[in-house]
Amino acid sequence: MAASKDSGARGFPAFPARKGGRARGQSFWAGSFTQAVEDTWPEEEPLKQGRAFSRTGRIGPIAVGPGRITAQVYGGDEAYTTVITLRELDDQEWELLWDKTADRPAVTESLLAGELPEDLLEAVEDARLRLLPGYGDLDADCDCDALDHPCPHATALCYQLSWHLDTDPWLLLLVRGRGAGEAVEELKSELLLRAMTGGDEEDEEDGEDGEDADGTDAEVTLQKGPLPGVDPLSAWSREASPLPGLPSLPPAPAGAGEPVTGIEADPLEQLVADAAVRARSLLAYARGLTDAPAPELGLWQDTVRIAATHPDPRVAARLRQACGRPSEELDRAAEAWRTGGAAGLEVLERAWSPSAQETARARAALSAGWEADELPELQVQGNHWTPAGQDIQLRLGRDGRWYPYRRRADAWWPAGAPHGDPSDALVDLTDD
């Protein structure tokens, strides 16, 4: 099998500096990769320095290609080239891997669907190959002339690669010599070859004397080939008919021009824009972009919704005058609505007490996402988690999401979109 063009190196932009948070990737493949690196290079000090250096923003763009991961790193005024190398699998080894993979229908189905399943490691093990780093297989080179091997720049580069594996685990195959597209095509070729030769018969179904379970000669069975009238090549190349889809979401309503009726905060324009927003919300639900249709709202909630979503600033000004509450209260509520809808408003206005299990899960997630010596001390009061001595806060919503807040003067204001992971939310807050 000749190397294809999608096995060339891929480039990724540099990561910005981070004040804290996870240094190890959190997905299965990222975690397996970092664990394999740490098992291969067990000296704790270079690993600890590498975790710290990975968050400094001093590692340039990363290039990932067959057999190597490369980046420029910057220490003070000096720039160094750091290279991580892994052995590429040869063509025969890839053929053996796809042969073992084809024996596993669930793994094969996932790969053809564009996913990299965890059970692929079983096929790798059956083929007696190595996908993750190991002894005699992983090496590092850096012109920083550090006494430790590997140097902190090399271990930092490995940790940053694990961040990429969180979103693109196929990079593991690329480092071993196959891009995602080529890997899938080779697997398809193996499956097609089996279909054409009858090679997908299970070995264990054969009798002791070369007979199948039904008493027929095994050699004859292998020579049967595809069914009459079925062309496997055309079946593989046939394009699926596209399914009709719902219309795409229209853009949010634009700002109003001159009032239609000549009245400031024109009521007709308000009704038209409000209907457009509601229709857009229903379409988003119909397309599966939201989990539920818009809920029924009370007077205050609807006031906040209109102030947050209406494109004409004159509407918000009229609402501030008419709602009977301080204007800052409406502005803060509208900001909460923009970040999380009705759930975001509830997080702003109503505190609650999570269960002991929910609190324990949150602590575990934060501990997993931060190094033990870098996690800020957190003061927990109900669903409010506040780093000691800092003007930032996380609030756990009843929807299970974490809402970031920042103190302005004497009030807490929403500070961004909610997160599913408290560690990610805290990293974003501390990085701002």
* Residue 17 DSSP class: P
With tokens 């002791």, the residue in question is: 208
CA distance linking residue 166 with residue 26, whole number of Å: 7
- Give the Cβ contact number of residue 54 at 10 Å: 26
Q: Could you give the maximum distance between any two Cα atoms of the chain, in Å?
A: 95
- Residue 332's alpha-carbon distances to 62, 319, 350, 412, in angstroms, are 41, 13, 14, 9
For the chain, residues with pLDDT lower than 70 are 1-7, 198-241, 243-244, 246-247, 249-271, 273-274, 277, 288-295, 311, 372, 431-432
Whole-number pLDDT of residue 37: 94
Residues 78-127: tens digit of each pLDDT: 889 999 999 999 999 999 999 999 999 999 999 999 999 999 999 999 99
pLDDT of 420 reads 87
Distance between CA atoms of residues 306 and 295, nearest Å:
14
Edge to edge, what strands does the sheet with 411-414 contain?
378-381, 384-387, 392-396, 402-408, 411-414
Two structure tokens written together for 334 = 């509208």
Model-level pTM greater than 0.85? no
pLDDT at 106: 93
The Cα–Cα gap between 337 and 354 comes to: 22
Which residue in 46, 84, 248, 295 sits closest to 171, CA to CA? 84
Model pLDDT, residue 209: 47
Residue type, 73: V
In the chain, where the domains are located: 5-89+129-178, 267-349, 356-431
C-alpha–C-alpha distance, residues 220 and 184, integer Å: 30
CB neighbour class for 385 (10 Å; exposed up to 12, middle 13-18, buried from 19): buried
Q: How far apart are CA 348 and CA 304, in angstroms?
A: 12
Backbone φ and ψ for 259, nearest 5 degrees, come out as -60, 145
Q: Say what the pLDDT of residue 17 is.
A: 87
Predicted confidence (pLDDT) per residue in 339-350, tens digit: 888 889 999 999
3-state secondary structure of 107: helix
Residue 343 and residue 403: Cα distance in Å, rounded? 10
Separation of alpha carbons 99 and 107, rounded Å: 12
Q: What is the pLDDT at residue 298?
A: 84
Place of tokens 């080939």: 225
- In angstroms, the CA 89 to CA 66 distance is 9
